[in-house]
Chain A
Amino acid sequence: MSSALALRPADDSVGPVPPATPNRPDWTDEAVLAGAKAIADGPLSAAAAEIDRGAYPLEILGRLGGAGALAVHLDRHGGRFGLSVAAMQAASRACGATGFLMWCHDVCGLYLEQSGNPALTGAVLDDHAAGRSFGGTALSNPMKAFAGIEPILLRARRVPGGYRVSGMLPWVSHIGPGQYCGAIAGVVGANDTISHEIMFVLACDRAELRPCPHFSGMEGTSTWGVRLDDLFVGHDDLIADPARPFIGRIRGAFILLQCGMGLGVAEGSLNAMLAVEETLGHVNQFLDDRPDAIAAELAELRARVMRLAETPYDGATDYLIDVLDARAQVSELALRASQSALLHQGARGYLMSAAPQRRIREAHFVAIVTPAIKHLRWEMARLSRETLPTVTEGSRA
């Protein structure tokens, strides 16, 4: 018990960070984290079961935005990725779905800022960063397409002044009427082949949102199928053209930010184990994955994530593998910790109102949302292979 407490990840250090930018001097590291924790422990904890069943917590996200928790990873607010992960972890400890929504929102902000497009980096981004407007990300399919896992679903063709885009995306989260998301389409050129891809901001009011089937949990993430029918995408909507170099630049940051979700689900699970230690410790001592083991791994992993968060735009292959490895371990830890928490709590954790069974579903979401464990391993294997020439056809001497 004492060792478990000693190892509890109460350490909230997030590494060296530049000072908050002058336009929001109130968003200091301490203030942002304290604000996120207060929201997480208060209204978010109270609403977690409702959100799991389908309540979309825009009001709580707005409060998190007001506290700076959705902005601090942006360059204009100091590029504090570690703090951003820490805030997401704090929220996910209470509610994994909200942690996921924070990630959707965070990366959407990243797209807007990194686009360098004046139409997207002014008031649009200010409102987004402060949680006054909301938008997510539709990059699951293109990320898998770029890794060679599946074909790209949205198709664009060039027209005067921009592109026209058609296609259907299943399962895009944190969108809705009046909202938006970052999306990628393959540009179809001659011979119906894809010449390159474009990335753009998709305003939901210009697309058809279709309801999704029921999911087993995290229903409050406002997840829709998105159908585009000849949607015009002009220069003001473009995030990147071509999209691949842009994605190559932000990919590490995109994946690293997700770690906040899984760390939070694991920490919430750890807390649930510790909560019953006094009353059930005499039998729980016979379980695998005891709190001290989970706490030690959580502390080590969190420290590694925080180190990686100091250089989110490092372009080296070794860095990217480090990020993928950490992200995969976050998933594995969340799965083990959530299962162990339910076993530690026993029947009380199995109640429909209990957090441990909800966290089991949240942990599985962490493990299957793009990039899923299997995608991460696929990509690490691909990045680890040596490039060799291909055997040439015909004989040239």
Chain B
Amino acid sequence: MSLPEPTDGLGPWQLFLCRACGLIYDEGEGDPDSGLPPGTRFADIPDDWACPICGVTKSDFEPYQRRAPVAPVPASLVPQRRPGVVIVGGGIGGWSVAEAIRAEDAELPITLVSACDGSLYHKPELSVALGRGLTPDALRRETGAAAAARLSLRLMADTVAVGLSPERHALRTTRGTLPYTHLVLAHGARPALPDCLDPALCWRVNDLAGWSSLHAELARGPRTVAVIGAGMVGCELAEDLARAGHAVTLLGAKALPLPELLPEQAGRRLLAGLEGVGVRYRGASLVSGLSRRPDGTVALALSDGTSLAAATVIAATGLATPSRLVRGAGLAFDRGIVVDPATLRTSGPDIFGLGDCISIAGRPCRFIEPIARQAAVIADAILGRAHPGYAHAAPVIRLKTRSAPIALHGTPVADRPWHVVEESEHRLAMEQRQGGEITAWLAA
């Protein structure tokens, strides 16, 4: 339809959007059915005119700029006629299973559902990246889209798995319901924030997106940072932040950092190392609340009645596996999705689990090392190939605090006594024993 050209000197015809129903009033076209001839300026429309579709009045319209039309892009070149495998989780666990399946089968349809953009990165790097001056782009090894194309799978990014019907083999997501032949749960764990910590006032570092936002926050220069929680992640982040030039206070619940894992001698070495790079440790401190101060910093109220302030607060208070999806589906859950220790099958038919979201014998295992082996077991089970089974072994725990690196082997038990094997200025070796057997040993 050819429109009259404006001759009133008021510039090109403008568009106005009805906020109630989305109708667009085009001044060039007018609204002849309501008596507005083509070329009626919005300002000249009588006040009693109503939207021809929904009837709201002129005041409920707003100026509108038409965007360039976007042609639909075929999202996937992979035909998805068969349901195939659906993987929930775009982290290392999810991608590892996809890689393991593709290593043996080029055809099986795979859909990967990720609540984030599905970027591939090496998660342990997040706790040492600031000190190395890394950026989000440097940490991202491959975009989700590129990995999806390489592996011929369908990636559903920014998509949340919200419901599961195991008997019908159907996963409900925020972008539609997916039938599956096999389902792999690799959605990880989420930061477990105590109620007293306002999530809008403290950062958590558990994925690349969270780290990237924190990176942007810290990019403007050195600032005071408080890290709540002196577990592994808290200690590593505190050192990393200090190496990046920030003034760091690390708050721990006990006198020494990492008390659940380390005997006193090792804890003292760790503390000395952290203090050596400039971290200030505040032991025996429990945070009872956070609040924004007038100057924009955050006040941390401590349970002993004192308080401190920091420009940036990071909570490293542990992880917990979200349980809504699996509990709602009637799957067994015990601090994580319960899986068979050899097959990694959950209690639901054709549903497997791996990585941070599972628990074996009631214990979550949140380390990277077992994931590739777990993925191989699951891929072989899905492809119907024989596999000797997953053999769970406690991974070596390496604390990435360069100031005082510590490696723990075996199965440390919190209350069992540690025996010194070697103690010198440069080296500490200790072990735990039970019935004459060495069950855990550490080197610091």
Chain A residues with CB under 8 Å of chain B are: 141, 150-151, 153, 167-171, 210, 212-213, 225, 227, 296-297, 300, 318, 321-322, 324-326, 328-329, 332, 377-378, 380-381, 384, 386-392, 394-397
User: Are the C-beta atoms of B174 and A377 separated by less than 8 Å?
Assistant: yes
User: Are the C-beta atoms of A386 and B191 separated by less than 8 Å?
Assistant: yes
For residue A170, which residues in chain B have a CB less than 8 angstroms away from its CB? 20-21, 51, 53-56
- Sample 15 A-B pairs with CB under 8 A, ordered by A number: A167-B56, A168-B56, A168-B57, A212-B55, A225-B50, A227-B55, A329-B177, A386-B210, A389-B213, A391-B213, A392-B311, A396-B223, A396-B297, A397-B224, A397-B311
Number of interface residues of B (CB under 8 A): 48
Given contacts A170-B54, A389-B202, 18 further A-B contacts (CB under 8 A): A167-B60, A169-B56, A171-B54, A225-B55, A227-B57, A297-B168, A321-B324, A325-B328, A328-B162, A328-B172, A329-B177, A380-B160, A388-B200, A388-B213, A389-B200, A389-B217, A396-B311, A397-B222
Interface string of B316-328 (1 = CB under 8 A from A): 0000000010001
Report the separation of the CA atoms of residues A326 and B203 in the bound assembly, to the nearest whole angstrom.
Answer: 32
User: Are the C-beta atoms of B60 and A153 separated by less than 8 Å?
Assistant: yes
For residue B204, which residues in chain A have a CB less than 8 angstroms away from its CB? 386, 388
For residue B328, which residues in chain A have a CB less than 8 angstroms away from its CB? 322, 325
For residue B174, which residues in chain A have a CB less than 8 angstroms away from its CB? 377-378, 380-381, 384
Report the separation of the CA atoms of residues A213 and B201 in the bound assembly, to the nearest whole angstrom.
Answer: 49
Complex A-B, nearest 3 residue pairs according to Cβ-Cβ distance, in ascending order: A170-B54, A225-B55, A387-B199
Known: A170-B55, A321-B162, A380-B174. A388 touches B199 (CB 8 A): yes
Report the separation of the CA atoms of residues A390 and B200 in the bound assembly, to the nearest whole angstrom.
Answer: 7
In the complex, B175 has a CB within 8 A of chain A: yes
Scan residues 178-228 of chain B and give those whose CB is less than 8 A from a CB of chain A.
190-191, 199-204, 210, 213, 216-217, 220-224
- Checking A153, A225, A384, A388 against B162 with a beta-carbon cut-off of 8 angstroms, the contacting residue is A384
For residue B159, which residues in chain A have a CB less than 8 angstroms away from its CB? 381
Known: A151-B19, A387-B200, A391-B217. A381 touches B160 (CB 8 A): yes
For residue A141, which residues in chain B have a CB less than 8 angstroms away from its CB? 20
Interface of B is mostly: loop
In the complex, B137 has a CB within 8 A of chain A: no
Closest to A152 in B: B19
Q: How far is the CB of B242 from chain A (nearest CB, A)?
A: 15
User: Are the C-beta atoms of B20 and A153 separated by less than 8 Å?
Assistant: yes
For residue B53, which residues in chain A have a CB less than 8 angstroms away from its CB? 170, 213
For residue A318, which residues in chain B have a CB less than 8 angstroms away from its CB? 324
Interface string of B36-80 (1 = CB under 8 A from A): 000000000000001101111100100000000000000000000
User: Are the C-beta atoms of A396 and B295 separated by less than 8 Å?
Assistant: yes
Known: A171-B54, A392-B217. A397 touches B199 (CB 8 A): no
For residue B220, which residues in chain A have a CB less than 8 angstroms away from its CB? 395
Report the separation of the CA atoms of residues A391 and B172 in the bound assembly, to the nearest whole angstrom.
Answer: 33
- Checking A168, A325, A326, A394 against B55 with a beta-carbon cut-off of 8 angstroms, the contacting residue is A168
User: Are the C-beta atoms of A150 and B19 separated by less than 8 Å?
Assistant: yes
For residue B247, which residues in chain A have a CB less than 8 angstroms away from its CB? 397
For residue A169, which residues in chain B have a CB less than 8 angstroms away from its CB? 20, 56
- Checking B55, B115, B168, B213 against A210 with a beta-carbon cut-off of 8 angstroms, the contacting residue is B55
User: Are the C-beta atoms of A322 and B324 separated by less than 8 Å?
Assistant: yes
Report the separation of the CA atoms of residues A329 and B170 in the bound assembly, to the nearest whole angstrom.
Answer: 11
Report the separation of the CA atoms of residues A358 and B299 in the bound assembly, to the nearest whole angstrom.
Answer: 61
